[in-house]
Chains A and B, each alone.
Chain A
Amino acid sequence: MSTEPLPAAGDLVVELDLRAHNAVFVGHDRYFVLHTGGRRELVLDRCPHRGGPLSLARLTPDGRRLSCPWHGTKVGVVALRRTALPMVRTGERAVAVLSGVPTGTPVTAVHKRILANLPPEDIR
């Protein structure tokens, strides 16, 4: 991963190798790579209810929502995709842009287990 601060815009560009990274920590914010219909998007890893890790949520049987592991809050995939950072993927490399990041904010790209990309949970 490489990062490049852009002082004029206050934006931060993060370069990811998608074979090695599927999540990014930016200060206290977390993002993970969500697979949606053949695409990969870098979405916010925070449940709007109490901030639970949606990367560890499972899809509901209809595949349309994620069930937060903390309190079972159902978060629509469409709504989650609206939190996606602007990102361009070329092959297995991706460049994402983070806006309004304070100077000196630590940024880390990691690989972690993501349950949200598994097939819908079988409730039988």
Chain B
Amino acid sequence: MVTTVGTPSTPTTVPYGHPGLSTRIQAYAHNRLSTGEPGVLHAANPYRRALAPAAVAEVDFERPLDATQMTGNRALSGHRALGTFYEADTVLLPEQGLDSLRADFDLFYSEDLRRLREASMSDLERYAFGFLDDEVDVSGTWTVAALDAFFQHVAGQTERGRAESLAAMEQSTRPTVAADLYLVQLALDGLTEASAMSRNLGGAYGPEQSALFKIFIDEFGYGVFEAKHTTIFAKMLRSRSMATHVHAYWNFYLTGPLATNNFYYYLSRDHAKFFRYAGAVTFAERVFAPAFVQMIRTYRGIFGDEVDLHYCDEHAHIDEHHGRITREQVLLALAERHGPSVIPDLARGIAQASWLGGWFESDTAAQIRWSDAIGRYRELGAATAAGPGTATAHELAPQSPFSTRNHDGAVVLRLTEGEADLVTMPTGEPDRLARGDAVLVPAGRVYGLRAVSPRCGYELVVPADEH
């Protein structure tokens, strides 16, 4: 069976009120800032981010994610929208000035889109993160000492472990391309660093507030732009000849890293989750330093001196302090001051941050391994496409909007007309597909297709055993 999918219409106005969450997210995804542009990378315009409306339309947002749905389109589409919503609550201005982007600025921060976000945010958070309450449960009678023992155990395990993504990078057939993909995942936070943390600086909560502020001012370079972590992160990207603007590599942010980044906004937006945030940020600050030591070793092994790792050196050093400050002056101090009733939330934040960190790693490693093995997945695609399945037909032109997506289950992508590039990584050469070529796309793997012939057609075939 073949179904032809047309281009979705773009509504000229955004509905007000509270229709279903799916309707609201689809309406948002159809605004002209979200429908994509021909380039693989996003231009220097912080307001544009492809939300792949056709992929969003496949998602039932009324049915929250569960812990088994972490790699598919349901998760990616939800977290792309949620990340966009969170960043629309921050100030984003283009480095080159606003002159030519004023209309996009006005739309991104418009009342229409703001109302749509406000009407959707809590429901979308429940969709994206509600499962964490079932996945991570805290029980028993806690003391400060028990909290510290739990924290040391969980953080110690992560510190002693080998980062899965770095291992995949070292084993990659294209280690430089794999290393660039990892930088892209870090760029999600690196280019807007500590924005989520800034939400917890207000209010009045004693010495713990001042302790958090010490970390914040380190992230912001003590008011010196050249020392700001985002500035030195951009320097690292530049040394790899990569784009440095927000969010050039939007199409290549993977689900796990998006969810990890969103998680800190999620905990920071709702101050009922403050103690969970304190646990999560303590875990993050503790494991950053050893993680960056590992990263420096891997990147020096791949690039030698050809990459600027000032950003990693800075984190490997300063996060030793941040790890100590957050444990002693935030986590344990809050537990001491506010007593046993807050300790389960502190522990929950630690456990959830650890869980999400694992997702970041496994998702990035899986993308590296799949992209490395496209040759084998072509063979699997041809073999699978020969079997029973349901196909949908699509058309592309060289100037069609480019966006990446993934699927909840395995699909076969088969070219039926012309030629196209299969793009699975932000740098390196894409894989050229000609008429008749097929590739198996495993569940969760992110890809985009760019036409290189004037006309290009392809089918997405869902194998019968995936139904």
A88 near B141 (CB under 8 angstroms)? no
Against B, the Cβ 8 Å flags (1 = close, 0 = not) of A80-97 are: 001111111111000111
- The verdict on A41 contacting B140 (CB below 8 Å), with A90-B135, A97-B146 known, is yes
Chain A residues near B146 (CB-CB < 8 A): 11, 86, 97, 99
A95 to B140 alpha-carbon distance, docked (Å): 11
Against A, the Cβ 8 Å flags (1 = close, 0 = not) of B322-351 are: 000000000000000000000100011011
B303 interface residue per 8 A CB criterion: no
A88 to B157 alpha-carbon distance, docked (Å): 15
CB distance from A33 to the nearest CB of B (A): 10
CB distance from B403 to the nearest CB of A (A): 32
Chain A residues near B145 (CB-CB < 8 A): 9, 11, 99
A residues 1-22 with Cβ under 8 Å of B? 4, 6, 9, 11-13, 15
- The verdict on A99 contacting B139 (CB below 8 Å), with A13-B150, A91-B67 known, is no
Chain B residues near A39 (CB-CB < 8 A): 137, 139
B137 near A40 (CB under 8 angstroms)? yes
CB distance from A31 to the nearest CB of B (A): 10
The contact of B141 among A12, A40, A84, A90, by CB within 8 Å, is A84
B140 near A42 (CB under 8 angstroms)? yes
A86 near B150 (CB under 8 angstroms)? yes
A60 to B143 alpha-carbon distance, docked (Å): 32
* Contact size range, A: 20 to 34
B91 interface residue per 8 A CB criterion: no
The contact of B139 among A15, A40, A90, by CB within 8 Å, is A40
CB distance from A21 to the nearest CB of B (A): 15
A87 near B138 (CB under 8 angstroms)? yes
Chain B residues near A13 (CB-CB < 8 A): 149-150, 153
B141 near A82 (CB under 8 angstroms)? yes
Chain A residues near B421 (CB-CB < 8 A): none
B135 near A85 (CB under 8 angstroms)? no
B136 interface residue per 8 A CB criterion: yes
B139 near A97 (CB under 8 angstroms)? no
B140 near A90 (CB under 8 angstroms)? no
Chain B residues near A4 (CB-CB < 8 A): 153, 156
B149 near A84 (CB under 8 angstroms)? no
A86 to B348 alpha-carbon distance, docked (Å): 12
A93 to B166 alpha-carbon distance, docked (Å): 25
B138 near A88 (CB under 8 angstroms)? yes
The contact of A6 among B138, B143, B147, B149, by CB within 8 Å, is B149
B143 near A88 (CB under 8 angstroms)? no
CB distance from A10 to the nearest CB of B (A): 8
- The verdict on A88 contacting B347 (CB below 8 Å), with A41-B139, A99-B143 known, is yes
Chain B residues near A42 (CB-CB < 8 A): 139-140
A122 to B348 alpha-carbon distance, docked (Å): 38
CB distance from B358 to the nearest CB of A (A): 10
B225 interface residue per 8 A CB criterion: no
Q: Which residue of B lies closest to A13 (CB)?
A: B153
A9 near B149 (CB under 8 angstroms)? yes
Against A, the Cβ 8 Å flags (1 = close, 0 = not) of B146-183 are: 11111011101000000000000000000000000000
The contact of A86 among B135, B143, B156, by CB within 8 Å, is B143
Against A, the Cβ 8 Å flags (1 = close, 0 = not) of B124-135 are: 000000000001
A9 to B148 alpha-carbon distance, docked (Å): 9
CB distance from B134 to the nearest CB of A (A): 8
B16 interface residue per 8 A CB criterion: no
B355 interface residue per 8 A CB criterion: yes
Chain A residues near B355 (CB-CB < 8 A): 90
A85 to B139 alpha-carbon distance, docked (Å): 7
Against B, the Cβ 8 Å flags (1 = close, 0 = not) of A32-68 are: 0000000111100000000000000000000000000
A88 to B137 alpha-carbon distance, docked (Å): 6
Q: Which residue of B lies closest to A43 (CB)?
A: B140
CB distance from A24 to the nearest CB of B (A): 13
Chain A residues near B354 (CB-CB < 8 A): 90
A97 to B149 alpha-carbon distance, docked (Å): 7
A91 near B150 (CB under 8 angstroms)? no
A86 to B135 alpha-carbon distance, docked (Å): 17
B370 interface residue per 8 A CB criterion: no
The contact of A87 among B67, B140, B147, by CB within 8 Å, is B140
Chain A residues near B154 (CB-CB < 8 A): 95
Beyond the given A6-B153, A86-B139, please list 16 additional residue pairs across the A-B interface where CB-CB is below 8 A.
A4-B156, A6-B149, A15-B153, A39-B137, A41-B139, A86-B141, A86-B143, A86-B146, A87-B139, A88-B150, A88-B347, A90-B135, A90-B355, A95-B153, A95-B154, A97-B149
A-B contact pairs, 23 of them (CB 8 A): A6-B152, A6-B153, A9-B145, A11-B145, A12-B149, A40-B139, A41-B139, A84-B139, A84-B141, A85-B141, A86-B138, A86-B143, A86-B347, A88-B351, A89-B138, A90-B136, A90-B354, A91-B135, A95-B150, A97-B150, A99-B143, A99-B145, A99-B146
Give 5 closest A-B pairs by Cβ, nearest first: A84-B140, A11-B149, A86-B140, A97-B146, A13-B153
